[in-house]
Structure 1
Amino acid sequence: MEHPDGPFSRVLFNRFEWQDADEGSAQSWEMSAWLGGDLDRVWLRSEGEREGGSTHAGDFELLYGRSVSPWWDVVAGLRQEFQPGPSRTWAAVGVQGLAPYRFEVQATALFGEGGRTAASMEVEYEMLLTNRLILQPLLEIEAHGRDDRTRGIGSGLSSIEGGLRLRYEISRRFAPYLGATRERALGRTADLRRAAGADVDETRLVAGVRWWF
């Protein structure tokens, strides 16, 4: 019995949620999609946030991915950031995969115009409480190589965000969830936010759905 050669595809909205923001409500998303085979894939990744009827933060990535082990891919391509402040275009290189003890890891290094550099890492873990009830902790860290005052970002470790979401899988493809997140600006980024009168530490309640097809 032979397996088909593909190509195959999948679209995953890992987070599509409503958030209890300080000035009303906000909506955020994180999605990824891929097209290809077992070794080579084209990836689309995007995440962002809308608040008060306008996009507060948003980015889009187009990447080529190559499998280097049964659990890990190396990716490279372009990233476009639309908000906050002026748009930025980056070259992106990173890895994504499943670390020991089933931690899902996504780490990306960014290289922009004028010698700008940045890096981000996201780690997730899924705890199966029952066959359908799943608790998902999440940790995101961002760092920048230099100040970007027009976007309120300082050099060094700039922000850290933790989240905890409890979802119920009505089916394997569709799962509503509830949770909470906390984001804190650090170092120079925190200084720039304070100077602009913005919060440096924010906790939000969230409700959303996770689905894929």
Structure 2
Amino acid sequence: MSRSPALTLLALSVATLLPSAALAQHHAGHHGHATAQSAQEDGEQDPHAMQARPTPVPKAEDPHAGHARHEASQPVEDAHGSHAQDEHAGHMAHAAAPDMPRTPIPPVNDADRAAAFPTLHQHMEHASDFNWYVNFNRLEAWDADEGRGEAWEATAWFGSDLNRLWLRSEGERTDGRTEAADIEVLYGRSVSAWWDVVGGVRQETRPGPSRSWAALGVQGLAPYKFEVQATAYVGDGGRVEANVEAEYELLLTNRLILQPLLELDFAAKNDEPRGVGSGLSKAEAGLRLRYEFTRRFAPYIGVVHERAFGRTADLREADGEHVNDTRFVAGVRLWF
């Protein structure tokens, strides 16, 4: 087959170029290697040339940087690894935090205290050294078969929490005639949080002739909130008598209060002019229900039973009086 002259010339050109390119690449690689080797040989042969070039100083590696790169390159495997990283970060943050706040806290002054407790001094004020109190515990009346009657029982004191002057009075009238009346003037001294010791004189106008007595007793709040008053009286001629009174307040509501009361009288010897016999001479029990419109004003209704005992009962029968007496009463309780 005959080839055209053009194709024959192209084939010869390609065959010529391919060996030349390969030879040039091989020569370039050999020349680079030789150049590097020559430079090394030149350095070995010329020591001053090596000293002339500055020697690079290796950088001190941060020990944490390697760990940080290593930890960053690996995934978090479990909670323990995460906790270790968080703890390390927390230590780093704590070390970087300052010891003192950026804005110092100012000290507390008198103006700050006054603004925080504006009424503190008013609440800490002490009570007055002198006080007083007047209470009409019973101011009542009744209408019975024996006639109409009235009775009272009042207490007042003046002084301080430790030392007081006490005034006590009680009495009873029937059909306009005073059956019994007395007044006591006592000095009281507080001996505990709930009890006072009292001592003084008692003046009695009824029954019988007027007489004076020396008085000594205690009064206060017994356990279970019983108000107790016990007083002994010593008169002329060796007469000794005693009175014991106890009452209790039962709150049915905040305003409705039931008050039971028990009073006992004792005598050491007979006193016929006064109608009093030895031993337990008289007992009185009462039950009063009051409604407190205010603490200072409280009307009430109630029932009272009185009974004489022993020689006292005999003396009453001899005078035509009743030994037992039950009556319904109505009254008011006041204090100021």
SS in 2 for 1:46: strand
TM-score under structure 2 normalisation? Answer: 0.63
Report how far residue 20 of structure 1 moved. Answer: 2.6
* Structure 2 residue 324 is matched with structure 1 residue 201: yes
What does residue range 125-140 of structure 1 map to in structure 2 within 5 Å? 125-140=248-263
Q: Residue type of the partner of 2:174? A: E
Mapped pair 1:182 → 2:305: yes
Counterpart residue number, 1:91 = 214
Match of 2:274 in 1: 151
- Cα distance in 2 for partners of 1:134, 1:100 equals 19
Which residue does 1:37 correspond to in 2? 160
C-alpha distance in 2 between matches for 1:168 and 1:114:
46
User: 2:172 maps to what in 1?
Assistant: 49
Q: Which moved more, 1:162-171 or 1:5-14?
A: 5-14
2:189 aligned to which of 63, 66, 88:
66
Report the structure number with the largest CA radius of gyration: 2
Q: How far apart, in 2, do the equivalents of 1:172 and 1:208 lie?
A: 15
Give, in angstroms, the shift of residue 158 of structure 1: 0.2
> Which letter does structure 2 place at the counterpart of 1:112?
G
- Displaced runs of 4+ in structure 1, greater than 6 A? none
Q: Which amino acid aligns with 1:73?
A: D
Shift of residue 21, structure 1, vs aligned partner: 3.5
Tell me, yes or no, if structure 1 residue 14 matches structure 2 residue 137: yes
Structure in which a larger fraction of residues adopt helix: 2
Displacement after TM superposition at 1:2 (Å): 2.3
What is the alpha-carbon distance in structure 1 between the residues aligned to residue 312 and residue 158 of structure 2?
37
> Which residue of structure 1 lines up, in the alignment, with residue 198 of structure 2?
75
Cα deviations by residue, 1:130-155 (Å, 9 ceiling, x for unpaired): 00000000000000011111111111
CA distance in 2, matches of 1:114, 1:84: 17
Query: Is 1:28 the counterpart of 2:155 in the alignment?
Result: no
Distance (Å, rounded) in 1 between the aligned partners of 2:229 and 2:167: 14
Aligned residues: 213
| Mapped pair 1:192 → 2:312 | no
- Identify the structure with the greater strand proportion: 1
Greater relative contact order structure (CA < 8 Å, 6+ sep): 1
State the match for 2:289 in structure 1.
166
Paired residue type of 2:135: L
Aligned residue identity for 1:29:
W
Partners of 1:135 and 1:21 lie apart in 2 by 23
Question: What is the CA–CA distance in structure 2 between the aligned matches of 1:184 and 1:21, rounded to whole Å?
Answer: 16
Q: Describe the SS at the equivalent of 1:65.
A: strand
Distance 1:162 1:146 in 2: 24
Amino acid at match of 1:7: F
The secondary structure found in structure 1 opposite 2:304 is: strand
RMSD after superposition: 0.8
Instruction: Give 2:223's match in structure 1, choosing from 79, 89, 100.
Output: 100
Q: Given the two structures, how large is their TM-score scaled by the length of structure 1?
A: 0.98
Q: Flag the 1:103–1:72 CA change in 2: closer, same or farther, 3 A.
A: same
Q: Residues 147-196 of structure 1, C-alpha deviation per residue, up to 9 Å, x if partnerless? A: 11111111111000000000000001110000000000001101111122
